[in-house]
Structure 1
Amino acid sequence: MPQKKIKTLSLFSGAGGLDIGFHAAGFDILGCVEIEPAYAASLERNRGPDRLFGPKLNVHCQDIRTFDPAPYVGVGIECVIGGPPCQTFSAAGRRSGGVLGTIDARGRLFESYCRILKAVSPAVFVFENVYGLPGANDGEPWREICNAFSRLGYKLRAEVLDSADYGVPQHRERLIIVGYRDRTLSYEFPMPTHGPDSENGPDLVSIHDAIEDLQDQEEPSHVFDGLYGHLLQLVPEGLNYSFFTREMGYPKPYFAWRSKFHDFLYKVDRNSPSRTIKAQPGKFTGPFHWKNRHFTVPELKRLQSFPDEYELVGKFGKVVEQIGNSVPPRLAQVIAHSVKEQLLRPTKKLKFKRRESGFASTFRQRQRDRTNHFKEVAKREIAERFSNVTHLDQPRENSKEQFFAGYEGFFNKEILNNRPKSESTKRYYKVIEERKDQHIDLVVSPILVKATRKIEIRISGLSKYLLHVDSLTCKAMMHDHDDIFRVWDLIEDSLTKDSQFFTLIDIYGHYANRGDTVKVSTRISGEKKSSLEKAIEFFGSSENCGQFLSDSDIESVIQCGRKETRTLALKLREMRWDVRLPETHATIRDDRVLCTYPFPLLSDKAQLERRRSA
């Protein structure tokens, strides 16, 4: 006699990753609650006759905080599944502006989860989130969430699992919490089904194994466009931008160590699982196919273990977002079977064996081993490519040159050898660049307008990344504060033109990861400085950037009140300084400010529009 299906309610359903896995394990998904219309449309597309979910599924496209669970009370719901948005606990959130955890409204969504658990009273729930949740904000949100579940009468088991250990061709760590009411039962997470931690299981599923039948054997290697596109062809499989760093042994680096995130120019090793697929990748964000292109939607579905026939609604970017935000269905299916067989339909004959006492996953050690392996790959590749290189480019001889730079706005620039005519509408600057040994002296003066202030910028510690330059001093006269952006643009030109670096950030390093090798200081002349000039000096120092500061830290230096601090920060953003505060980034607390770099963002692609908290 077939078992009765397990009636299940899905919360924060997304595109259905958990739901697909639980459905395949014999769970009957009666309802899905999902706020995002495109995601809800994908769920709708897959319900109905001859569809994966069947016609009984109800899709509720609404905010869970307003969702009324009454229709699911008293109808035999045995299981609730789902996990709230993870941005307030994620590593990406920490990098973009900090983790608020349960302080942020999104971090309080577990309360709605608990409200629905209390109303529906299932025997079991399965809650998933980012692996960093237990450690976020010293563990305070984690304790609060666990206590909330415990007060509802649930015993909890929690573990971080790598989806690759369960047959997914992708390394993706997720925190899984299983809560159950029947304390006469016990639950243990299933043993890995694949890889070295499994008991005689198959190897981890490689990308090649997962998508081989989707490949065109005649497909040529692609040429990727854009600023960094030509480098993608040079990246060995399994490596990323760090291949081009001095730390990896690249003879003439393109990037400082940790100047980008690890997905930047990441090209997969086709014979291994991929790194985590991102929901909102940038143009140069991997994983990239070994043919130097982005993966197609059918390929990405395979890497996330979605069924081929499962339809996702929306344009390419929205579909990629849905895939990247999903729990891999294959991992969900293994969890679902273990929950069913240990807690809801107990049986001694388990499809997936329970972990024994003392089991310890090795995926973190394997992660370190992979890093060391790819360092060796880089070392061998560099030795082979540069086997005939006996010396690097000779340093430039000591030199001194003069030219004129004209700007219309921030980004329209021209360089002239001769002084421009006075009737020009552009702002012109006389530039004198003198190079002596490993030092650059740069003198910048506006012409055709009156200069009223002097600024001095000093940069040191460059020789770790630049082959022949260790320091730079720029002395510039200013007509107005917009001149500062143009001065920094000229500094970037001076530092990059005799190197393979593309931008100042590539040299300085990403604010969240850099090792503080490059030091920057800024001084504006005069005893009577405006609050804005004091703010420029303060944030123009590398000592005050890349870390959260309280209002009082800034007020004591600039000698202004909290309201003026906020006004100054927004003014600096207009000048393209990436100063972040609650009014611009929802994940920053009310009493904190973060300035990412001690210089303005020089790329016209960098967006600094003002975004208020939700």
Structure 2
Amino acid sequence: MQQLSLPLNLPNADIDQITWFQKILTFLGINRGAAWCDQFGLSLRYRLNQQSHSPIKTLSLFSGGGGLDIAFHDAGFDIVQMVELEPKYIQTLEKNSQTGQWLENSQPICIDIRKFFPSPDLKVDFIIGGPPCQSFSAAGRRAAGVAGTKDTRGTLFQEYVRLLKTLQPKGFLFENVYGITGAQKGEDWQEIQNAFKQAGYTIHFRLLDAADYGVPQHRERLFIVGVKTGNYLFPYPTHGPDSPGKEPFYTAKEAVTGVDKSHTEPGLTGRYGHLLTDIPPGLNYSFYTTEMGHPHPVFSWRSKFSDFLYKADPHSPVRTIKAQGGQYTGPFSWENRRFTIAELKRLQTIPDAYEIVGNDQACIQQIGNSVPPQLGRILALSILDQIMGVALPFPMQYMSPNKQLGFRQRKRQLTKIYAQKSSEAIALLYIKNKSSNIQIITGKEVRFLSSDFGWSKNKSDHSIKINLTYELNTSCWMITAQTSDILTEENKFVLDVFPTLGNENWVIETDKVKLCANELNPHLFTALWKAFEEKILDITGMADLVQLSGYYQYNPRFHGVMTFSPGLQINLFWLVVQCVVRGIGVANQLSAQNLSLLWGVKTENIFSYLQSLRSMGYEVRNHHTNPQIPQGEYLIPYIFPTLTPRTVQLRKNLG
């Protein structure tokens, strides 16, 4: 382990004129700069080791990659055991627990916490850790509510409580996403509070932003500190507008300065990779929306997660680093590339010398799941001072319980800043005249629709050949589809698509769209929507039908009407499809009984109809596909089919 040779006396300084955090930095001999947090941790550990207080034996639960363990170890806590389920995370903990490494003398244990029963000889003073947070996360809310403690991951806090009851430490620190307080309309939060109280602890909790504590990342998390006796107050922010000295935030550019970038790969690949270049730093995919003023919108407002194509601003902390994400999940560098693992460690304040084991994906998971050590260090010092009774060689300043922090309000104010950035960036772009995009386009094409709803120019196994005829002009887009090679004039059904009344975001330079087929065939129905979507992308750049319509929780930007050829014999299912195209029973969670009333069919047939809709490419959700949806309710998000080979819902079933 790297050692520092530092004088024990305070440097000469007029400390009465500086804030409490500046006094700590002065005492530790630390100056702000790249990787200053690493030196903060090393110096803090060295200084506290000079004090002769009894070891504070600490048990770490849900240790992950070791973020909290780094923090508490640096603050003089003795991490005796680290309990973690994932073997790939254990490899990181083992690597860094060896002699001379950051967590030396700690003992990683690879075990499911539900099977962890500590030895009767184990005595601990403190417990740290937070269980997996996915069941309380933003992703859960977006999928139709939050599963909370109804999810098996959400009940892991009960194991935490079990160990509190068994070991009876003086206190504990519990970290989780803020969604935990709102899960199941607050019922889960009340259950969690009661469980800690029954274990014998008074709890104190706050939502904190890591950027307020010297982390170059805005990361909001709920922290709960429980105490057996006495009181606890959270420390004041060390950085940002709420800090006593108004210390500027630690910026992303400051943090990554000096990192080796010799192995970086420029740009992004894939369908949307090229879009990153024009996005101003600090913005995301929303730059390419009508609401931001883009002349050729690609996406619909709030149709993606906020980290989709998110480019970091070098002069601010980055947004939250995610543990998991797709190909376009940011933050991405302002240099229009992915951040390296070394840079992500800096942005999370994980020490350069701390080795994270695994491939890039495994490393990103461990980084994104960690509590940023610099935030953890400040909390650990406050616990050392107030709960453990250790006299610190520097002051700490604490907030009253009713002190309001301003990071949520500042977050809301960013919308205006982003809009201005977007406007300035668009003014610099070469903007084509939209009316020149299309005058009259006619032609014939062949496409193939595969069983997994792939849409291609090339034939594949189990694909169906679709013959298409296009006639696109400024008054109407007409697309006709048939499976036969012999052109047939008569249409068996027509889908008329119109912009919603008063909608100003209909980016297609035409008054309406007509999708026609010469036979009542489910494959042709799906193919027509696919063909329409393809032309939208080719002509306008709009990514897909979802972007054209808007995210389903908002009012749709277009509506549809399905009509059949007079005299055509149709079964009840096609009447259900007709209702769905009109938006009847769509974009709301509804029971089978409600759907039967809306569609005019028998309740006992609803499940069969929903299965048939899925076979046509419609996304249909229920409790089996999305546990957040109550039993017996169903959700069809859109009036058109949205399933593709890449769609997660394609690999799920309705039960």
Fold similarity call, TM over 0.5? yes
Quote the offset at 1:404 in angstroms: 4.3
User: Unaligned stretches of 5+ in structure 2?
Assistant: 1-50
**Which residue number corresponds to residue 10 of structure 2?**
none
**Which residue number corresponds to residue 490 of structure 1?**
531
In structure 2, the residue corresponding to 1:49 is in which secondary structure? coil
1:274 aligns with 2:318: yes
**Whole-angstrom distance in 2 between the partners of 1:453 and 1:63:** 59
User: Among residues 446, 450, 456, which one is paired with 2:495 in the alignment?
Assistant: 456
Output one character per residue of 1:530-557: Cα deviation in whole Å (capped at 9) or x when no partner. Answer: 5654554454454544433333333444
Maintained 8 Å contact 2:242/2:406: yes
**Whole-angstrom distance in 2 between the partners of 1:547 and 1:142:** 27
Aligned ranges 1:416-565 → 2 under 5 Å = 427-437=465-475, 439-448=476-485, 454=493, 456-461=495-500, 463-466=504-507, 468-478=509-519, 480-511=521-552, 514-522=554-562, 530=571, 532-533=573-574, 535-542=576-583, 544-557=585-598, 559-561=601-603, 565=606
Quote the offset at 1:68 in angstroms: 1.4
Larger deviation, residues 516-525 vs 84-93: 516-525
Maintained 8 Å contact 1:268/1:274: yes
User: Among residues 180, 191, 196, which one is paired with 2:241 in the alignment?
Assistant: 196
Quote the offset at 1:142 in angstroms: 0.7
User: Unaligned stretches of 5+ in structure 1?
Assistant: 416-424
In the superposition, relative to structure 1, how do residues 340 and 263 fare at CA in structure 2: closer, same or farther (>3 Å)?
same
In the superposition, relative to structure 1, how do residues 613 and 576 fare at CA in structure 2: closer, same or farther (>3 Å)?
closer
**Which residue number corresponds to residue 116 of structure 2?**
67
**Whole-angstrom distance in 2 between the partners of 1:269 and 1:296:** 16
**Whole-angstrom distance in 1 between the partners of 2:150 and 2:563:** 37
Aligned ranges 1:332-481 → 2 under 5 Å = 332-345=376-389, 347=391, 351-356=395-400, 358-385=402-429, 392-394=434-436, 396-397=438-439, 399=440, 401-407=442-448, 409=450, 410-411=453-454, 413-414=456-457, 427-437=465-475, 439-448=476-485, 454=493, 456-461=495-500, 463-466=504-507, 468-478=509-519, 480-481=521-522
Maintained 8 Å contact 2:581/2:640: yes
**Which residue number corresponds to residue 419 of structure 1?**
none
Quote the offset at 1:206 in angstroms: 0.4
In structure 1, the residue corresponding to 2:182 is in which secondary structure? helix
Maintained 8 Å contact 1:443/1:474: yes
**Whole-angstrom distance in 2 between the partners of 1:343 and 1:529:** 74
The aligned amino acid for 1:256 is: S
In structure 2, the residue corresponding to 1:190 is in which secondary structure? coil
**Whole-angstrom distance in 2 between the partners of 1:67 and 1:530:** 58
In structure 1, the residue corresponding to 2:161 is in which secondary structure? helix
Larger deviation, residues 154-163 vs 548-557: 548-557
Larger deviation, residues 569-578 vs 446-455: 446-455
The aligned amino acid for 2:284 is: N
Maintained 8 Å contact 1:334/1:352: no
In the superposition, relative to structure 1, how do residues 376 and 345 fare at CA in structure 2: closer, same or farther (>3 Å)?
same
User: Among residues 162, 169, 175, which one is paired with 1:128 in the alignment?
Assistant: 175
Matched pairs, number: 593
Maintained 8 Å contact 1:259/1:508: no
**Which residue number corresponds to residue 252 of structure 2?**
207
**Which residue number corresponds to residue 104 of structure 1?**
151
Maintained 8 Å contact 2:255/2:346: yes
Larger deviation, residues 157-166 vs 44-53: 44-53
**Whole-angstrom distance in 1 between the partners of 2:96 and 2:572:** 58
Maintained 8 Å contact 1:252/1:467: no
Maintained 8 Å contact 2:62/2:129: yes
**Which residue number corresponds to residue 52 of structure 1?**
102
In the superposition, relative to structure 1, how do residues 237 and 519 fare at CA in structure 2: closer, same or farther (>3 Å)?
same
In structure 2, the residue corresponding to 1:92 is in which secondary structure? helix
Output one character per residue of 1:76-128: Cα deviation in whole Å (capped at 9) or x when no partner. Answer: 31111111111111111122353111222222222111111111111111111
**Which residue number corresponds to residue 418 of structure 1?**
none
Maintained 8 Å contact 1:408/1:426: yes
Maintained 8 Å contact 2:60/2:81: yes
In structure 2, the residue corresponding to 1:497 is in which secondary structure? helix
In structure 1, the residue corresponding to 2:471 is in which secondary structure? strand
Maintained 8 Å contact 2:585/2:595: no
Quote the offset at 1:613 in angstroms: 11
1:83 aligns with 2:133: no
The aligned amino acid for 2:126 is: C
In the superposition, relative to structure 1, how do residues 99 and 412 fare at CA in structure 2: closer, same or farther (>3 Å)?
closer
In the superposition, relative to structure 1, how do residues 201 and 477 fare at CA in structure 2: closer, same or farther (>3 Å)?
same
**Whole-angstrom distance in 1 between the partners of 2:148 and 2:221:** 17
Q: TM-score, normalising length from structure 2?
A: 0.83
Output one character per residue of 1:303-341: Cα deviation in whole Å (capped at 9) or x when no partner. Answer: 111111212222111111111111111111111111121
**Which residue number corresponds to residue 9 of structure 2?**
none
Quote the offset at 1:198 in angstroms: 0.6
Among all aligned residue pairs of Structure 1 and Structure 2, give the percentage whose two residues are the same amino acid: 37
Maintained 8 Å contact 2:495/2:563: yes
In the superposition, relative to structure 1, how do residues 554 and 313 fare at CA in structure 2: closer, same or farther (>3 Å)?
farther
In the superposition, relative to structure 1, how do residues 154 and 539 fare at CA in structure 2: closer, same or farther (>3 Å)?
farther
The aligned amino acid for 1:27 is: F
The aligned amino acid for 1:47 is: S
**Which residue number corresponds to residue 14 of structure 2?**
none
**Which residue number corresponds to residue 13 of structure 1?**
63
**Which residue number corresponds to residue 145 of structure 1?**
192
Maintained 8 Å contact 1:248/1:378: yes
In structure 1, the residue corresponding to 2:346 is in which secondary structure? helix
In structure 2, the residue corresponding to 1:4 is in which secondary structure? coil
1:31 aligns with 2:81: yes
1:40 aligns with 2:82: no
Q: TM-score, normalising length from structure 1?
A: 0.88
Maintained 8 Å contact 2:449/2:466: no
**Whole-angstrom distance in 2 between the partners of 1:365 and 1:229:** 32
Quote the offset at 1:460 in angstroms: 2.2
Quote the offset at 1:593 in angstroms: 2.2
Give the alignment's Cα RMSD to 1 decimal.
3.1
In structure 2, the residue corresponding to 1:580 is in which secondary structure? coil
**Which residue number corresponds to residue 421 of structure 1?**
none
**Whole-angstrom distance in 2 between the partners of 1:357 and 1:571:** 56
**Whole-angstrom distance in 1 between the partners of 2:608 and 2:277:** 45
1:284 aligns with 2:328: yes
The aligned amino acid for 1:59 is: P
Maintained 8 Å contact 1:457/1:520: yes
The aligned amino acid for 2:335 is: K
Quote the offset at 1:441 in angstroms: 3.9
Maintained 8 Å contact 2:587/2:637: yes
User: Among residues 614, 633, 643, which one is paired with 1:592 in the alignment?
Assistant: 633
The aligned amino acid for 1:509 is: G
User: Among residues 133, 149, 162, which one is paired with 1:115 in the alignment?
Assistant: 162
